[in-house]
Amino acid sequence: MSEQGRLVRVFYYTAIMDDQDYSPLRPLIDWLDYNGFTLVTKPTKEFTDEHGRRKVKGNMDIEIAVDMLALSESLDHVVLFSGDGDFRRLIEAIQRKGVRVTVISSNTTQPSMVADELRRQADQYVDLARIRDHFSRPRQAQQDADIGDPYEDDDGYYDDDEDYEDDPA
């Protein structure tokens, strides 16, 4: 991932529970939306398993695959944050179209979070631990931070990349 490129689009895929007034994901989703990410969401599905336990399912594999295949005609490199071995054939398909694929996941955890077949299919594999410092807050900052407004900077001001002049009135 050392070569430079032009970032075209960043997608974030997640399933959301419709029946909740507030989701713990809501601040993250709002922040991502506000900051230019393309959000792909769908409602979770609730079911009861064979033991009578309530389960919630929200698989986004098809959405990721459809978008990746559709966009592959106009891309030269895709970065996939996943360890799901189900994506191996998808990666193979877009590689046949000339698209390079980098998979980012973790194989340093126990158990490993990346399927071996996915890691082997990728043109490049990057362990999340190697790049964590590029996008995570320092531990102390995480412990000290409130779950405040997702648009608010550390200085308490909203950052919307626009300059405002003081109103003289």
Sign of torsion over alpha carbons 46, 51, 53, 59: negative
Name the residue with tokens 């506000």: 34
83 and 133 fall within a common domain: yes
How much is the pLDDT for 161?
38
Domain that holds residue 19: 7-59
- We report the CATH number of the domain holding residue 123 as 3.40.50.1000
pLDDT tens per residue, the chain (169 residues)? Answer: 456 778 888 999 999 887 766 778 888 999 999 999 999 999 888 889 899 998 888 899 999 999 999 999 999 999 999 999 999 999 999 999 999 999 999 988 878 899 999 999 999 999 998 988 887 777 665 555 555 544 444 443 333 333 333 433 3
How much is the pLDDT for 3?
64
How much is the pLDDT for 156?
39
Residue 119 CB coordination number (10 Å): 18
How much is the pLDDT for 22?
73
81 and 124 fall within a common domain: yes
Question: Does 145 reside within a domain?
Answer: no
Question: Does 113 reside within a domain?
Answer: yes
Residue 121 CB coordination number (10 Å): 19
Pairing of strands 45-48, 54-57: antiparallel
How much is the pLDDT for 78?
96
How much is the pLDDT for 137?
74
Q: How many domains does the chain have?
A: 2
55 and 102 fall within a common domain: no
38 and 85 fall within a common domain: no
Question: Does 23 reside within a domain?
Answer: yes
Residues facing residue 152 across a β-bridge:
158
- State the pTM of this model: 0.72
55 and 94 fall within a common domain: no
18 and 47 fall within a common domain: yes
11 and 36 fall within a common domain: yes
